[in-house]
Amino acid sequence: MRIGVLGTGTVGQAIATRLCELQHEVCMGSREAGNEKAAAWAAHHGPSSSTGTFADAAAFGAIVFNCTAGRGSVAAVTSAAPQLAGKVLIDVTNPLDHSGDTTTLFVGNDDSLAESIQRAVPEANVVKTLNTVNNAVMVDPSLVPGDHVMFVSGDDEGAKATATLLLEQFGWPPERVVDLGDLTAARAQEAYLLLWIKLMKPLGGFNFNVAIQQG
């Protein structure tokens, strides 16, 4: 399958690399063509990889991952809006604000970055997932033992099903993918990051996740 990845940072590279390992064709997009990080990534991953602008990557992919930095996500998808029409847009970003002494969110509790992205590209089908774990765990959940879970939310049931199939390829079995409902659930997914950040120090690292136990 041809898949576009918007973003050249650690998350974008982790997802794009894993997709190539799974025999997908991947185009990594950035604000401007010729991005050095994207070019270096493509040079390492051979003929199944290519690069271009956000619009180029969106046009290339039957499915598109948004892995851009939170502050730039709306602008990134807006620049590729015509190419995203009718496509599943898997949003893995978080609205983190690191400008103060304590990390906060730059959206209120009555909105989410995912919903802002959906408003910016209303003809795309946005699915929120993978934002609640470290990039290494996103693409290899076996790094964390046990039946830990991944959340998905979105307004289109077919889009969520498509995203869940890709999650399964990454190693997330369907029984460990929790559908939280429509895209307003992304508010909770993104807000969880405030707890995730606080957990890093006592847990001594990045590779952890949550499991659900019912009594």
* pLDDT of res. 143: 98
Question: What are φ and ψ of residue 80, in 5° steps?
Answer: -115, 15
Contact 35, 29 (CB under 8 A): no
* pLDDT of res. 97: 95
* 23: in domain: yes
Per-residue pLDDT of the chain (215 residues; tens, 9 = 90+): 999 999 999 999 999 999 999 999 999 999 999 999 999 999 999 899 999 999 999 999 999 999 999 999 999 999 999 999 999 999 999 999 999 899 999 999 999 999 999 999 999 999 999 999 999 999 999 999 999 999 999 999 999 999 999 999 999 999 999 999 999 999 999 999 999 999 999 999 999 999 999 99
* pLDDT of res. 60: 98
* 168: in domain: yes
Contact 159, 127 (CB under 8 A): yes
* pLDDT of res. 38: 94
* 36: in domain: yes
Based on the structure, what is the number of domains in the chain?
1
* 63: in domain: yes
* 210: in domain: no
* pLDDT of res. 35: 94
Map residue 128 onto helix, strand or coil. strand
Looking from the CA of 194 toward its CB, the CA atoms found within 13 Å total 13
pLDDT tens-digit map of 81-116: 999 999 999 999 999 999 989 999 999 999 999 999
Torsion angle, CA of 77/110/69/182, rounded to 10 degrees? -60
* pLDDT of res. 41: 95
* pLDDT of res. 119: 98
Token pair for 104:
């906060």
Exposed / middle / buried, residue 161 (Cβ in 10 Å: 0-12, 13-18, 19+): middle
* pLDDT of res. 85: 98
Give the CATH number of the domain where residue 134 resides: 3.40.50.720
* 213: in domain: no
CA-to-CA separations, 52 to 61, 65, 133, in angstroms, rounded: 12, 14, 27
Give the domain range for residue 15. Answer: 2-203
* 211: in domain: no
* 199: in domain: yes
Rg (CA), the chain: 16
